[in-house]
Amino acid sequence: MNRILVCLLLISNGAISQVPLADSISIELPVDAAQKVTGIFHSTRIIQSQSVELLGKGSLDVRILHRFGRLSDGVKELFGLDQASMRMSFDYGVMDWLTVGIGRSTYRKEYDGLVKVRLLQQSAEKGSTPFSLVLVAGAMIRTADEISGNGYKPTAGDRTSFYGQLLAGRKFSPGFSAQLSAALLHMNYVPDESWNNTHLAVGIGLRQKLSKRFALTFDHQVVITGLPEDFYFPLGIGFDIETGGHVFQLHFSNAIGMNERAFLTETTDRFFKGEIRFGFNLSRMF
């Protein structure tokens, strides 16, 4: 609960910040001379998935993500708030079209890094680019102690995973945006023959603005190469609040993992069976 109080204090500080988010992520800026469309999403992540948004050159995004336990655990576990998994990350805008980042999750004690490149940007000019296209590449390494069922202890190479992702997003109106994605994930080592080393996933992300600073979001990924029994597809529904230098995202999801390997392959809850976790993402721009 102390972590929640710290984050709420950070939000209060952000409300009086003199650093507007628009300076860092191009939210709702006036259309420029090239008629480029900006602010397709409020943040560089929809909920768990990457969005087509990049950071502006020289901008630093310090991000704290929390996932709690199941709401269905009831009052004994304070509806999941007694349990928490966290990820902290630092993303930096090297250029307006290039963002790099590093992060660390308490789940599996996993470190990750990414490179995000904008290939195309949606334009409002007639007959020009109708959508934004972004390429993401990343790697993850688990550092938690692990021993397989046959007694084998994975090496550092075994613990490493890689992914590449292509994102296509479009702002259809000032209030509504949508994104499609395709991701290829490779894990160097899997526990047994019921797992595939390589997975292909497709996803959809949606945003509907309710006001200048509030929006509803939807985030869903489907692993089309198949997962072992008792593993499911990640789905999230959220609410974005933009307050000066912060974006605060409240959401409900069945995923506990907060990087691509974890939420694509290790989601063990079923959203439509009521196995839902409350969580939040806090983004502070510098």
pLDDT for the residue numbered 27? 44
How many domains does the chain divide into?
1
Task: Give the CATH number for residue 192.
Answer: 2.40.160.40
pLDDT of residue 245: 65
What pLDDT, on a 0 to 100 scale, did the predictor assign at position 22? 38
pLDDT score, position 58:
95
* Closest among 147, 167, 163 to 155, alpha carbons compared: 147
Q: What separation in angstroms does the CA of 2 have from each of 84, 243, 248, 281?
A: 12, 22, 18, 16
Per-residue pLDDT of the chain (286 residues; tens, 9 = 90+): 444 444 444 444 443 333 434 344 544 444 454 688 988 998 999 999 999 999 999 999 999 999 998 888 888 888 888 888 999 999 999 999 999 999 999 999 999 999 999 999 999 887 788 999 999 999 999 998 876 666 778 888 999 999 999 999 999 999 999 999 999 999 998 888 889 999 999 999 999 999 988 999 999 999 999 899 899 999 999 999 988 767 889 999 999 999 999 999 999 999 999 899 999 999 888 8
| Structure confidence at residue 99 (pLDDT) | 97
Q: How far is CA 168 from CA 4, 101, 121, in A?
A: 34, 20, 10
**Domain span including residue 280:** 2-285
Q: What angle do CA 49, 67, 72 make, to 5 degrees?
A: 115
**Beta-bridge partner residues of 60:** 92
